[in-house]
A and B are shown apart, each in its own frame.
Chain A
Amino acid sequence: MNMNKTTGITPAEGIGVIRKKVWLYVIGILVLGLLVALPHIASAYAATVIFILFVYVGYAEGWNIMSGLTGYVNFGYSLFAGIAGYTSVILIIDYGLWWPIAWVIGGISASIVAFMLGMVMLRLRGSYFAIGMLALLLGIQLLYTSKYLSPITRGGYGFPFIEPMSFTAMYYSAFVIALVSIFTTYKIITSRFGARLLAIREDEEAAESVGINATANKITAFCISAFFGGLMAGVHVAFQNYIEPHSAFNIHWTIVPIVMVLLGGPGSVWGPVIGAVILTFVEEFLWSYFTQAYMMIYGVVMVLLVLLMPGGIIEWLKSRGTLPKVRTI
């Protein structure tokens, strides 16, 4: 049979694949175009919802890079959002830095903290890591309110007002960061580094037996994860217009990305995006119509989804044969 050696598909199948690909590109470009034009054509409310979606995509992909791939569930993720948020705000207010530079430095500061914590925490296995990170989140949140750091962090009051920037600028910033986070995830998952991280998730002992330095790989992933969480937190804080320890380190910014990744598909490129899209709209809907019961409904829906689709939507579609079993999805 006349098969293509690199892909192993026949010409007839090939045309089908190309047609599908063309459609994907067309839809992709249309969606991108719509998102670019959105702040100018849609209502302020719609643009804000989409902005929040971008923030969640960045948070979710960031969490996914570490926890989705290695299986090390990080319950202290918003610790990086808090540290990066504070770093960027302090740099802007006290040192007059330009916003985008402050955000990047904020992301780097979160990475540095991740590196230091990772040296210790990533030697713990499984649930010990998860609980340890949760404890660290609460501890560091407390540290930011304490009098020891208050000359820098302004204690429990934080910075009640940050000079506003234009919503359009924030919208496009969050858009770009979300796209970069998706692209980075794609690059990692399809690389050999990604294969090593997945191997750690599958069987860490066996991974080490083929020469994988598990701790070093986990620490690297942890730093990248913290960087994206931190970078997006900078924009998020700018949008919120204030920062104080309770909101900056709020565990909400840990739980929501985790739920999004689990729903969409941990360890995949598009799973976190799908999870973020669904839950941003569900959250918006529930919050508007069932303000009192919203967290409860959210919880019940989540329990059902995790029970019915343990590998997330992506894995479910792959097992049904709707999606091909490739890592690029």
Chain B
Amino acid sequence: MDSRERNDRITQKGGGSSLEVRNITKTFGSLTAVDELSINVEEGRITGLIGPNGAGKTTLFNVITGVLRPDSGKVFFRGKDITHLKPYQIARKGIGRTWQIIRIFQKMTVMENLLTAANLKEGGEEKKPMDLLDYFGLIDDKDNYAGELSVGQQKILSIARILMFDPELMLLDEIAAGVNPTEQLKILDVIHELCDQRGKTFLIIEHDMDVIMGHCDKVICMNFGEKIAEGSVKEVQENEKVIEAYFGS
């Protein structure tokens, strides 16, 4: 599907707001990591979050998922205020996230990694994780320690793990970085399948511009904790502030 076709489809679907970040500020001492930031992530779409290192992207993820408390501002998910909920409560509301550094449970088996995730339906205990392992090609490794997997497989496992609780919104932090091309393709396929067929929403941080340009419906660019551009891939690509942030003036 080329991007125009995709945009047409989205216009038809007309996704409402999934996640709304309103005037979030987060400071660490004298450093303002996120500064009065407001963004809107539309339902059923893939939104890319870009920006130079230290722009505050990961801090924003941590604020959304409750790992960090914002100094001011609010976060709404599907219209409900989730600003002061704990990380596990936010996960149970339907927000799954992966981390920039791989944070799977190294000394637990691949299967156990999946079993830790909440909201397993009664009775279907063995089936669902097996389906996921099968789908991601991890079934032969199910009884191996997760730490023994390749980097790419570990990243795939971290996606499989959040899929165990079937979140509506997924925040993926550099999920396609440092993996081989086959695995990267697999990851992107999964994202598209979940988005296009099951209406899941994605907010992804990426440094790989090919990933951003080829797969995102909308792009938000941050620098020094502020939003400097927002719009379609093309609009952001041509935005002077974005070019300046990346290449200097």
Contacts and interface: CB of A to CB of B under 8 A. Distances in A.
Interface of A: 8, 192, 195-196, 198-199, 202-203, 205-214, 325-327
Interface in B106-153: 106-109, 112-113, 115-120, 125, 143-145
B97 A209 contact: yes
Interface stretch (B22-30, B87-95, B228-236, B240-248): B87-95
Contact of A208 (B87, B96, B162, B165): B87
Interface string B148-165: 000000000000011011
Q: Report the 8 A-B pairs with minimum CB-CB distance, sorted nearest first.
A: A211-B118, A211-B91, A202-B105, A206-B103, A208-B87, A199-B116, A210-B117, A208-B88
A212 B103 contact: no
Given A199-B105, A199-B108, A325-B143, A207 B116 contact: yes
B58 interface: no
A192 B164 contact: no
A208 B91 contact: yes
B86 to A, nearest CB: 7
Nearest to B161: A210
A206 B105 contact: yes
B223 interface: no
Given A192-B120, A196-B116, A208 B105 contact: no
A198 B65 contact: no
Nearest to A214: B88
21 contacts: A192-B116, A192-B120, A195-B108, A195-B112, A198-B107, A198-B108, A199-B105, A202-B106, A205-B87, A206-B104, A208-B86, A209-B87, A209-B99, A209-B103, A210-B165, A211-B88, A211-B117, A211-B118, A212-B118, A214-B88, A325-B144
B103 A205 contact: yes
A327 B145 CA distance: 11
B92 A211 contact: yes
A265 to B, nearest CB: 12
A195 to B, nearest CB: 5
Interface residues of B, number: 33
Nearest to A211: B118
B196 to A, nearest CB: 25
B67 interface: yes
Contacts of A327: 109, 112
Contacts of A325: 109, 143-145
B96 to A, nearest CB: 7
Contacts of B99: 206, 209
Contacts of B119: 211
A202 B106 CA distance: 7
A14 B1 CA distance: 49
Nearest to A197: B116
A245 B19 CA distance: 57
A195 B119 CA distance: 14
A209 B91 contact: yes
Contact of A198 (B104, B112, B164): B112
A311 B202 CA distance: 39
A195 B108 CA distance: 8
Among B86, B104, B108, B162, the one with the most A-chain Cβ atoms within 10 Å of its Cβ is B108
A176 to B, nearest CB: 30
Question: In the complex, which of the residues A8, A195, A213, A325 has the most CB atoms of chain B within 10 Å of its own CB atom?
Answer: A195
A198 B105 contact: yes
Contacts of B105: 198-199, 202-203, 206-207
Find the residue from B104, B117, B125 having the highest chain A CB count within 10 A: B117
A211 B165 contact: yes
Contacts of A209: 65, 67, 87-88, 91, 96-97, 99, 103
Nearest to B65: A209
Contact of B115 (A192, A206, A208): A192
Nearest to B98: A209
Most buried by A among B112, B119, B165: B112
Nearest to A202: B105
B143 A210 contact: no
B108 to A, nearest CB: 5
Contacts of A203: 103, 105
A192 B161 CA distance: 14
A8 B163 CA distance: 24
A229 B113 CA distance: 29
B116 A195 contact: yes
A326 B142 CA distance: 11
Question: Which of A199, A210, A213 counts the most chain B CB atoms within 10 A?
Answer: A210
B209 to A, nearest CB: 27
Contacts of A211: 88, 91-92, 117-119, 165
